[in-house]
Amino acid sequence: MMTQTAQAPKLADDKFRMIRDLIYEMSGMYFGDGKKYLMESRLARRLGACGLKTYDEYYYFIKYDPGRAQEINRLFDEVTINETSFFRNPPQLDAFAKKILPGIVAEKEQKNTRNLRIWSAACSSGEEPYSLGIYVLESLKFSLPKWKVEIHASDLSEEILQKAKTGLYGDNSLRNTTPTYRSRYFVQANGKYAIRDEVKQLVQFQQINLSDKLKMRSMRGMDVIFCRNVLIYFDMESKKQVIAHLYDSLNPGGYLFIGHSESLHGVSKAFKLVHFPKAMVYQKA
Partner 1 sequence: MRQVTKSSIERIKDLPMLPDIAAQVLASVSDPRSSMAALRGLIERDPALTAKLLKVANSALFGMRRQISTIQLALVVLGMNEVSSIVTSLSVFTAFCDMPDDEFFDRERFWEHSAGCGGIARILSKRLGLKMEGREFVAGLMHDVGRILIDQYFHEEFVEIVERVQRGTGSMRDAEKEFLGASHDEIGGWLADRWGLPDALIEAVACHHEPTRAETDRALTAVVHLSDLLCRAKGIGFSGETEGFSIVDDEAWKLLAEDHPELLDMDIERFTFELDAEIEKAMEFIRISTNQPASGGEEMP
Q: N- to C-terminal Cα distance for the chain?
A: 46
By CB under 8 A, which span of 45-53, 147-155, 188-196, 276-284 interacts with partner 1?
Answer: 276-284
Which of 137, 140, 149, 156 is the binder for ligand SAM (CB under 6 A)? Answer: 156
By CB under 6 A, which span of 18-26, 49-57, 156-164, 193-201 interacts with ligand SAM?
Answer: 156-164
Q: HSE of 153 in the Cβ direction (CA atoms, 13 Å)?
A: 29
Residue closer to partner 1 by CB (options 221, 266) is 266
Backbone angles phi, psi at 50, to 5 degrees: -90, -5
Which of 101, 118, 230, 280 is the binder for ligand SAM (CB under 6 A)? Answer: 230
- 168-169: strand order across its sheet: 168-169, 192-195, 186-189
Interface map 215-254 toward partner 1 (x if CB under 8 A): ----------------------------------------
**Interface with ligand SAM, residue 40, by CB under 6 A:** no
The residues of the shown chain that bind partner 1, judged by CB under 8 A, are: 24, 30, 32-34, 36, 91, 95, 99-100, 261, 263-266, 272-278, 280-281, 283
The residues of the shown chain that bind ligand SAM, judged by CB under 6 A, are: 82, 84, 88, 122, 124, 128, 155-157, 160, 209-211, 228-230, 233
